[in-house]
Amino acid sequence: MISVLFAILTAVSNGSGAVLQRRAAATVPDTKAMRLELIRHLLRQKVWLAGIGLVIVAAVCQAVALATGPIAVVQPIFVVELPATLLIAGYVFRARLPREVWAGVAAVTCGLALGMASAAPGGGGESVPGAAWISALLLTGVFEGLLLAWSTRLRGNARAAALGLAAATGYALTAALMKDAMARLEDGGAAALFTSWQLYATAVAGVGALFLLQNALQAGSLAASQPMLTLGDALISIAYGVTLFGESVRVGWWLLPELIAVVLITVGCVTLARSPLAGGAAPPPPRVR
């Protein structure tokens, strides 16, 4: 499927970009958190700009994936972004990956396979009725507001986790808006796309999610923010797919293997995010005997 291929390409680009952004954001003083000075500081760093370049590539691939497949199929595939990134980083740094990393890769991969096979997402329409967006945007805004208010009372990794979930919500909303906008392109051409509010709402939601992600990465370790970002994006996107686009997932006793899949992905993400490669650094080379 074209959508699966471009979803994988999106995951690889996004994951690589997130690691580069984390490396840059970790150098920002706490006094610049949740302020525009954070972005000004990052704009002067080539590493961060390279990460943003990969995010742009990912956005193009994501648009193609969402235009050709259900959101409940495309977005969950993005959980492979961290494993793919670490494998690429290991190759680039010519570093032998420790067993923990391989175990994390296996956990995320098996969790994704089990989750997709159990949920069997699919179906649904390509666009969303305008009235449905009103309640969706209101509920999303309330949820984001609560997360941001809660994060102001937290510090360190707890704050990073809360902001990671807030960023995940923003990215899931961006994907839903993007899919709806791409449907306008298919139905009415470029004119319909550029006159649709969904296109511009996609840009606003995407910028907001990016801002929240930078603050999540600055607030604490990648091991705290990445699982919330990865799982939050996947699960909230599935919710958007079901409620807005009429897509379907299996429930009932299928919830048990789906829960096991979530646990596997969570454990795998935490394990991988603790790797030195996830922080943008190469691990020490193996000793020569």
263 inside domain: yes
Amino acid letter, 172: A
What's this model's pTM, rounded to 2 decimal places? 0.81
In a domain, 224, yes or no: yes
112 part of a folded domain: yes
Is residue 289 situated within a structural domain? Answer: no
In a domain, 110, yes or no: yes
Is residue 53 situated within a structural domain? Answer: yes
286 occurs within a structural domain: no
Q: Produce one character per residue of 60-71: b if its CB has 16 or more CB atoms within 10 Å, e if not.
A: ebbbbbbbbbbb
Please determine, for residue 172, whether its predicted confidence score (pLDDT) is greater than 70: yes
Is there a domain that residue 180 lies in? Answer: yes
Q: Please give the pLDDT value at position 20.
A: 74
Task: For residue range 110-168, list pLDDT tens digits in order.
Answer: 999 999 999 999 888 888 887 899 999 999 999 999 999 999 998 888 999 999 999 99
Cβ proximity of 20 and 54 under 8 Å: yes
Number of domains making up the chain: 1
Note down the domain range covering 63: 2-279
| Rounded distance between C-alpha atoms, residue 132 and residue 96, angstroms | 50
Contact 118, 252 (CB under 8 A): no
